[in-house]
Amino acid sequence: MDRKDFLRKGLLGTGVFVSTAALGHVLKNNIDELMELEILGFNHLPNTNSKIMDNTVLHKADTRGDANHGWLHSRHTFSFANYYNPERMHFGVLRVLNDDKVAPAMGFGTHPHDNMEIVSIPLEGDLEHKDSMGNVSVIREGDVQVMSAGTGITHSEYNKNKDKDVRFLQIWVFPNKRNVTPRYSQISIRDVEKANEFYQVLSPDANDQGVWAHQDAWFHLGKFDKDITTTYNLKKTGNGMYFFVLDGEIEVEGQLLSKRDGFGIWDANRVNVKSLTNSRVLLMEVPMAV
């Protein structure tokens, strides 16, 4: 199977998100989960506005795809559903980074996935998950969830609360193994949180800190006070690093980043990060090639 066929088949084809109300009424919204797209590259395109290095890409928050379906408001860092930008397909194996807000008692009806590592990071509210493996759970801020879709699963997610929104990051990573046995895992990361440094929440090792995925990827979160500077050292040669600012302002090797900005770097073994205000940051180290 050549590279293009692999990537296309990894995109799952199309599915439909469905909005569900608490009483079980179903509304079809015709929201394609992920349309088949022509893969044009790994999108670690040079950041032409940067004066610091030619191995970076900058995605400002206000340049993301914006899909507001009433019950769901989603901002897409990379091409997804009806948002298509040939220059923003993915960063290495990082395929989807969606910043989702789901209205009270609404959510995604049962839909399929295969051959993708799917990570959910709640930011506020309670998100209930059900899947074809028999898992029923609620994830909240301070939790991390991962699914290896492998040979195929179906699942649903909805806002468990009737009086407040739920916000979460939906992240998809191409796996390094196809057709694995589907798997689900969820943990609390509150016990491993550290002030003013990055702490690991995902890795390739089931015995390591955090959840694990079928990919040589490491995810870290960090909560930093103003004027704190830290250094991140690459875990695996050849990987790239993608920073996503959850709150506040930071500098990565001199590049200013604000809330919900994304910034990718490759061909670098370490980076310096300075917090200009109280801030929260998600750092995703991923392979730059499948």
Taking only the tens place, the pLDDT of each residue in 150-183 is 999 999 999 999 999 999 999 999 999 999 999 9
User: Which range has the worst mean pLDDT, 24-33, 242-251, 258-267?
Assistant: 24-33
In angstroms, the CA 4 to CA 77 distance is: 22
Nearest to 256 by CA among 94, 47, 75, 19: 47
Q: Which residues pair with 144 in a beta bridge?
A: 187
User: Which helix (H) or strand (E) covers residue 247, if one does?
Assistant: strand 239-247
- Is residue 54 very low, low, confident or very high in pLDDT (cuts 50, 70, 90)? confident
In angstroms, the CA 276 to CA 68 distance is: 31
Taking only the tens place, the pLDDT of each residue in 219-229 is 999 999 999 99
User: Which helix (H) or strand (E) covers residue 10, if one does?
Assistant: helix 3-10
How do the residues of the chain divide into helix, strand and coil, expressed in percent and rounded to 5? Answer: 5, 50, 45
**Residue % of the chain over a pLDDT of 90:** 77
In angstroms, the CA 284 to CA 75 distance is: 18
- What pLDDT shows up at residue 46? 53
- What pLDDT shows up at residue 87? 87
- Is residue 49 very low, low, confident or very high in pLDDT (cuts 50, 70, 90)? low
**Residue % of the chain over a pLDDT of 70:** 81
Average pLDDT, the chain: 85
